[in-house]
Amino acid sequence: MTDPRQKALLEFENINKSFGGVHALKEVSLRIEQGTIHGLIGPNGAGKTTLFNVMTGMYQADSGKFWFDGNAISLKTSPQVLAKKGLARTFQNIRLFSEMTALENVMVGQHSQTKTGIIGAILRTPAAKREELMIRQEGLRLLQYVGLSDDVACRVARTLSYGDQRRLEIARALALKPRLLALDEPAAGMNPTETAQLQALIRRLHADGMTIVLIEHDVGLMMRLCDRISVLDFGEKIADGTPEEIRRNERVIKAYLGGEATAQAGKGHEPRSVAE
Amino acid sequence: MMTEQKATDQKNNETHIAQYAMTAKKLSTKKKSALILLAISLMLLPFALGLMGPSWVRTADYALLYCMLALGLNIVVGYAGLLDLGYIAFYALGAYMVAVLASPHLNIHVSPWLLIPIGAGFAGLAGAILGAPTLKLRGDYLAIVTLGFGEIVRLFMQNLDRPINITNGTQGISGIDNLSFFGHDFGSGFDLFGQHFNGSYLYYYLFLALVLIVIGICMRLENSRIGRAWVAIREDELAAKAMGINTRNIKLLAFAMGASFGGVAGGMFASFQGFIDPTSFSLMESIMVLCMVVLGGMGNIAGVILGAVLLTLTPEVLREVIRPLQEALFGRQVVDPDNVRMLIFGIALVAMMLFRPEGLLPSRRRKEEFHHD
């Protein structure tokens, strides 16, 4: 038998994280397979974003094991090292470099992929010039990829529409050439048109071979998009499976709708409006 | 399908880049004549100033030194967003380096030309050393630590006359060697059309050249991978980390880079003035340089230069104007000109921060920051 870890791009084993007395993550284990769209759902405060933060090095887990791309990762690994290893993320509350242009944001994203140092920049060596042109080209390509037009490229990020800012954040994350793209509520605050466009973008990324892990409150969207879904509740993983399995899972329905509603929801109602 | 898409993407990109390159070129032809005019006037400026009085050429020299300082601090404060209130310490280090190693004080006479790069490196190293413990601090906390550092350096200079006399304490070091160029001493000036021009003219051109080099370095850094990383850290440090930026190294680089400019300016100052003592490196000087950066326009090279020139010249102009004005108005001097100067300076700063907080010539980024709805 081959080691199952060979196939998983990311694996967590019994991850724990507490903030003072609050046990935000309890013995969470998670496998994200190469090339899948993996959803994370759960009521507010379930620990989804905490899990993301552990995954991207923003928080250090108290205990547990972490593998990425077949390698064991120390829980103390810093965000910039994980970013270099190929873990890119977006943020729940947009964190663009708001006074830089859209293009510059994506150019910053390529920082770890490039290597011009201070001497190269001052002397503007041929290698530095070439790299700078490459960064610019790649930046424009990524903006196009996520569907931002050329005239958006030179606009300051803060002046972009909400939907465009979300997309720019994805473009910036893609600039890292990630192995795993972690999207934290990318559809939050979007209107239905923007959500549909986002869905198309995520599908396109998936078709191009990107592994995506996604937090989203719009359960309908998650059911349509994800290959697998993990459900968190009060810091514990209560279910894991395909959207169809999750839809039928008693514990999930209970977590979302509370005890009384179990019987009714169990008959196959889509738990669509659970976002609130 | 996919390759077709990629090909069009590629083509679009290329046209975009070509357009970008073209606009850059067009601008340069348009601005060429203006630049030549500026160059000629900068070359002739000291002679024009000399007609007004010899002290004005010296003022221009100081203005250029402050330009260098302000541009250096601009890297730390303007680009990387790290509030540094002890910046003058690097100026002091550069100045004392030249003063100790090129003066009769210890009877060592290393060529000041050699001391410029050494001073830059030494100050840069000191910048990184100061930066190291402050990496986790931001804003007011960082300001207080750097303020402490500035004072420590000044106090060191003031007290390093015992047990071994290195800095000569409060008495300062005098007789610092002048720079010389192919055997020609900068301090002795030069003769042209039968007229003698003193050393401050020669220093003017030297400082001008150095300021131009510093501007060139700043411009190149601004639009580079490193420059973008600085701004990214200023905008959102956590997001910068998530982008794989090693914030520790990039911040240290900002400190070191800014400090090295300060070190060069300090060495020039020592050599130009021939005498230094610790009073030239007080907290007030750090604050003045910071004012130049903020008043002119943080993060914008032209703005910072304007700030440095204005804040160096205004006190001198006021010195010339206030006394005659008072005598004309009241028939005698009512208030001490120095006090009036500080009053006007203070009012100007308050007014600036109220009505134009982004500075006189704000950077594109800063402008956006202060005027949005």
Looking at CA atoms only, how far is residue B213 from chain A in angstroms? 10
Q: What is the number of other CB atoms lying within 10 angstroms of the CB of residue A71? A: 9
At B193, is the pLDDT very low, low, confident or very high (cuts 50, 70, 90)? confident
Q: What is the pLDDT of residues B228-245, one digit of tens each?
A: 999 999 999 999 999 999
Element (H, E) at B282: none
Structure tokens at A77: 């690994």
pLDDT tens-digit map of A42-72: 988 889 999 999 999 999 999 999 999 989 9
A119, closest residue in chain B (CA to CA): B221
Predicted confidence band at B359 (pLDDT cuts at 50, 70, 90)?
A: confident
Q: Give A236: exposed, middle or buried? Use CB within 10 Å, 0-12, 13-18, 19+.
A: middle
% of residues, chain A, pLDDT over 70: 91
Q: Please report where in the chains the tokens 């500026």 appear, as a residue.
A: B38
**Nearest-angstrom CA–CA distance, B373 and B364:** 16
Measured in angstroms, the CA of B220 and the nearest CA of chain A are apart by 6
Is the separation of the CB atoms in B143 and B294 below 8 Å?
no
Is residue B37, in this structure, part of any structural domain at all?
no
A108 CB neighbours in chain B (<8 A) are: 228-229, 232, 240, 243, 245
- Give how many domains chain B has, as a whole number: 1
Geometric angle at alpha carbon A56, from A50 and A61, rounded to 5°: 55
pLDDT given for residue B370 in this prediction: 59
| Tens-place pLDDT, residues A170-210 | 999 999 999 999 999 999 888 899 999 999 999 999 999 99
Average pLDDT score over residue span B309-330 = 85
Q: State the nearest Cα–Cα gap between A201 and chain B, in angstroms.
A: 15
Q: Tell me if A99 and B235 make a contact (CB, 8 A cut-off).
A: yes
Q: How far is B196 from chain A (nearest CA, A)?
A: 39
Task: Pick the residue from chain B with its C-alpha nearest to A114.
Answer: B225
Which of B9, B224, B245 lies at the smallest CB-CB distance from A121? B224
Q: What is the pLDDT of residue B30?
A: 74
pLDDT of residue A185: 93
Residues 284-343 of chain B whose Cβ lies under 8 A from any Cβ of chain A? none
* pLDDT score of B191: 74
Chain A CB within 8 Å of residue B224 CB: yes
- CB-based contact A159 B368, cutoff 8 Å: yes
Number of CB pairs < 8 Å for A and B? 123
CB-based burial label for B150 (10 Å; 0-12, 13-18, 19+): buried
* Distance between B40 CA and the closest CA of chain A, angstroms: 26
Question: Residue B282 CB: number of other CB atoms within 10 A?
Answer: 15
pLDDT in tens, A145-167: 999 988 899 899 999 999 999 99
DSSP A172: H
Which residues of chain B neighbour A127 with C-beta distances below 8 Å? none
H helical segments located in chain A: 48-55, 79-85, 102-109, 118-123, 126-145, 150-153, 162-174, 192-207, 219-225, 243-248, 250-257, 262-265
Chain A: give the shortest CA distance to residue B358, in Å: 13
Under an 8 A CB cutoff, do A108 and B17 touch? no
Range of the domain at B183: 54-282
Helical pair B199-222 and B247-273, crossing angle rounded to 10 deg: 170
**C-alpha to C-alpha distances, A165 to A104, A145, A193, B245, B331, nearest whole angstrom:** 13, 14, 15, 21, 65
Mean pLDDT of A224-236: 93
Between A5-19, B152-166, B273-287, the lowest mean confidence (pLDDT) is in A5-19
Closest CA to B140 of B85, B177, B189: B85
- Give yes or no for a contact between A166 and A198, defined as CB atoms under 8 angstroms apart: yes
pLDDT for res A261 = 47
| Per-residue model confidence (pLDDT) at position B200 | 87
Of A79, A98, A124, the CB nearest to B235: A98
CB A182 within 8 A of CB A192: no
Which of A100, A124, A133, A172 is most worth mutating to test chain B (most B CB atoms within 10 A of its CB)? A100
Q: Is the CB of A121 less than 8 angstroms away from the CB of B229?
A: no
- Model pLDDT, residue B189: 73
Minimal-distance CA residue of chain A relative to B233: A97
Q: Which of A110-124, B2-16, B204-218 has the lowest mean pLDDT?
A: B2-16
| Closest-CA residue to B217 (of A131, A124, A115) | A124
User: What band does A270 get if pLDDT is binned at 50, 70 and 90?
Assistant: very low
Residues of chain A with CATH 3.40.50.300: 1-86+179-276
Q: Examine residue B88 and state whether it is found in any structural domain, yes or no.
A: yes
* Global confidence as pTM: 0.87
Q: Which fold has domain A1-86+179-276?
A: Rossmann fold (3.40.50)
Q: How do residues B36-61 score in pLDDT, each as one tens digit? A: 888 898 888 888 888 888 889 999 99
Task: Note whether A140 contacts B17, CB cutoff 8 Å.
Answer: yes
Give the gap in angstroms from C-alpha B263 to the nearest C-alpha of chain A.
18
Q: Do B239 and A96 touch (CB under 8 A)?
A: yes
Report CB contact under 8 Å: A114, B228: no
Confidence of residue B26 (pLDDT cuts 50, 70, 90): low
Q: How many Cα atoms are found within 13 Å in the side-chain-facing hemisphere of B132?
A: 5
- Of residues A56, A118, A176, nearest to B253 (C-beta): A118
Cβ atoms of B257 and B71 within 8 Å: the answer is no
| Residue B151 lies inside a defined structural domain of this protein | yes
